[in-house]
A and B are shown apart, each in its own frame.
Chain A
């Protein structure tokens, strides 16, 4: 696969990613702490972090909640078989619903997987999730030929992206 050469991280950016991928240091001046850890001036660390954010390498610098621990105990991955000629118009409308956290178009796999639209729904209970799924069904109407909801039973891992140290 061809990747634009400038999409790759240079060694200093990579050092910043490795130093912060598990989390930002919890001190008043976190970028100064990163700077000391990797031996680069703090101003350069901040310039590079800002540049990575502008380029989309960093989506945002933020907290990732644990939905379960915060009372959103039901998590349903709803999957939908949506007519190919309708998904482009309907996908953004499903993604725009307030209770949908992630919404993607994914491939069908003949004989193994028929669903091409994924919408993650969170709620305090399964009843909540089911009510939300009915809203999605109403929005999709006849364009959706089938759907299922895959409830999560357990988080087995949730570390986020991790680069391998080279």
Chain B
């Protein structure tokens, strides 16, 4: 990553406006062209430095719901269970963590009722009990990392 990449990662986390050429002002501020900007973003995505670029949707805003779920998965079963869990499109993120509860995943469902159904499906498929920890309150969500 060069200085322009770093400036781009920092700037694009703040978000861009909705307009016909949304990259133009960002590119101008960095002293590069729009086509160079989009090819840099494509490269950063390809290198895995960015996970995604685009609208960050909130299913709660469309009548759906999120929850954080956790399971204790036996070590020998871990890869198989991870594949079963990840196969659900409702699973937005999934992390292995160092704890007796070693698998933590976020469910994002378009209908709030689908949370319970998806959890029941995962419990049935994996044989592991799911701890359902929906957010009751959100205290902060505007974090950006600086590179």
Contact = CB atoms under 8 A, between A and B. Distances in A.
Contacts, number: 247
Given A106-B136, A162-B89, A4 B52 contact: no
A134 interface: no
Contacts of B50: 63-66
A120 to B, nearest CB: 8
B3 interface: no
A64 B52 contact: yes
Contacts of A122: 145
Contacts of A69: 47-49
Contact of B56 (A27, A61, A154): A61
A57 B131 contact: no
Interface in B1-36: 9, 12-24, 34-35
Interface residues of A, number: 78
Given A50-B18, A150-B97, A156 B103 contact: yes
Say whether chain A's binding surface is mostly helix, strand, loop, or mixed. mixed
Nearest to B48: A69
A32 to B, nearest CB: 7
Given A100-B143, A104-B138, A106-B136, A49 B48 contact: no
Interface residues of B, number: 77
A27 B34 CA distance: 8
A39 interface: no
Nearest to B113: A1
Interface string A29-56: 1111000000000100010011011011
A133 interface: no
A105 B16 contact: no
Contact of B137 (A63, A70, A104, A112): A104
A59 B42 CA distance: 22
B18 A156 contact: no
A95 B89 contact: no
B122 interface: no
Contact of B53 (A46, A64, A94, A105): A64
B110 A70 contact: no
Interface of A: 1, 3-4, 7-9, 17, 20-24, 26-32, 42, 46, 49-50, 52-53, 55-67, 69-72, 77, 88, 91-92, 94-96, 100-107, 109, 112-113, 118, 122, 148, 150-164
23 contacts: A9-B63, A17-B55, A22-B52, A26-B45, A28-B34, A28-B38, A53-B55, A57-B62, A62-B56, A63-B9, A65-B13, A66-B49, A66-B51, A69-B47, A70-B9, A77-B97, A103-B138, A104-B139, A107-B133, A150-B97, A153-B95, A156-B82, A160-B57
